[in-house]
Homo-oligomer: A and B are copies of this chain.
Amino acid sequence: MSKYWSKAIRNIKPYTPGEQPKDMKYIKLNTNENPYPPSPKAMEAIAKAAGEAGENLRLYPDPTCEELRCAIADYYKLEKQQVFVGNGSDELLAFSFLAFFDSDSPVLFPDITYSFYRVYASLFRTDYREVPLNDDFSIPVEAFFETNGGIIIPNPNAPTGKFLPLRDIESILERNENSVVIIDEAYVDFGGESAVALIEKYPNLLIIQTFSKSRSLAGLRIGMALGNNDLIEGLDRVKNSINSYTLDRIALAAAVQAIKDEKHFEETIRKIINTRERVSKELVQIGFKVIDSRANFIFISHETMHARDIFKRLRDRGILVRYFNEARIDNYLRVSIGTDEEMDSFLKAIREIVI
């Protein structure tokens, strides 16, 4: 503790990303990265964006991110004024706390969810309340009808992978016309359904998505927010009060091509979903409970062996998965879906461990 630290950071418990050990080569199934490379068109765009001798890199990027916002608007049939982009969906979530959440009523989010939400609330001293999920990890929809100063629900939820039907999202939107309701769709492309069609009807809906999962660009840090003009302008005010240029020239250029290349996107998604379904079935056969997932990861628990033990033994075999030492989920593992070869290695190791 330093005497120079602000009160806000003295007692905060920052978010811990999945480990990235460098001691040996691991099969990385712990950070929900995409096992397949991004669109080859994104790669061509990168070379072009820098210029032959890097001469474009000396210039600031477009602070309005016009081209990327238009490409996303085209893809989702929105206006560009309904689209905002930033340095990963994490930055967009942080900006949203600053832009929309300062009511006297608490912000609501599930108790089992992306653990960054409570970190934002703590940093920005936002009052919040965690809504306990049902025992089967489903979202208790009515609990989000209570008085609040904002709502965040990831759909599919993380780390469970469970998907909430759009009719439930819609009833939450209807009952909260004075609150901003953020649907964090980081994983929606892997079999869920985006709430984007509800934007026209609900001015309180903000959707946040990322290029890190379904578009294989985690290494470039690109996120997007979709919602009515008012909300987008709110985010813009925050951005222009923190950092005029949050996305660099390379990321902007790659993202434009990544969103345009629908064929590559759909092929990649299909492969990951197929692998997920196959692995889930095999895990059930060897005694695992597998929560029904619409994400690029699965959340699993074994009938006899504790998750912590499986985690350690997988790690010893060079396979990283994610274990959360937290109430209600401390006997589960979150396993990202890798290539078929990686998942075969995972299954082989799992069979050795649990049998």
Interfacial residues, chain A to chain B (CB-CB below 8 A): 2-9, 12, 14-17, 20, 28, 31, 33-38, 40, 42-43, 46-47, 50-51, 53-63, 87-88, 90-91, 94, 98-102, 119-120, 122-123, 178, 180, 203-204, 212, 216-221, 230-231, 233-234, 236-251, 254
A68 nearest CB across to chain B (Å): 15
Is A220 a contact of B102 with CB atoms below 8 Å? no
A230 nearest CB across to chain B (Å): 4
Is A221 a contact of B57 with CB atoms below 8 Å? no
Q: Using A63-B17, A254-B57 as known contacts, say yes or no to A249 and B87 having CB atoms under 8 A apart.
A: no
| In the complex, chain B residues whose CB is within 8 Å of the CB of A58 | 33-38, 216-219
Give 12 CB contacts A-B under 8 Å: A4-B231, A9-B98, A9-B237, A33-B58, A42-B54, A58-B217, A59-B219, A60-B212, A60-B219, A87-B87, A123-B238, A123-B242
A168 nearest CB across to chain B (Å): 22
A183 nearest CB across to chain B (Å): 15
Find A100's partner among B5, B87, B203, B247 (CB 8 Å cutoff). B5
Q: Using A54-B43, A57-B216 as known contacts, say yes or no to A100 and B4 having CB atoms under 8 A apart.
A: yes
| In the complex, chain B residues whose CB is within 8 Å of the CB of A218 | 57-61
Find A243's partner among B16, B53, B91, B178 (CB 8 Å cutoff). B91
Whole-angstrom CA separation of A50 from B50 in the bound complex: 13
Find A250's partner among B9, B56, B101, B250 (CB 8 Å cutoff). B250
A215 nearest CB across to chain B (Å): 9
A182 nearest CB across to chain B (Å): 11
- What is the chain B residue whose CB lies nearest that of A122? B241
| In the complex, chain B residues whose CB is within 8 Å of the CB of A88 | 243, 245
Whole-angstrom CA separation of A349 from B248 in the bound complex: 33
- What is the chain B residue whose CB lies nearest that of A229? B2
Find A87's partner among B17, B37, B243, B250 (CB 8 Å cutoff). B243
Whole-angstrom CA separation of A35 from B236 in the bound complex: 29
Find A123's partner among B50, B90, B98, B230 (CB 8 Å cutoff). B98
| In the complex, chain B residues whose CB is within 8 Å of the CB of A36 | 58
Is A102 a contact of B234 with CB atoms below 8 Å? no
Is A219 a contact of B33 with CB atoms below 8 Å? no
Whole-angstrom CA separation of A54 from B15 in the bound complex: 28
| In the complex, chain B residues whose CB is within 8 Å of the CB of A243 | 87-88, 90-91, 94
Whole-angstrom CA separation of A335 from B3 in the bound complex: 41
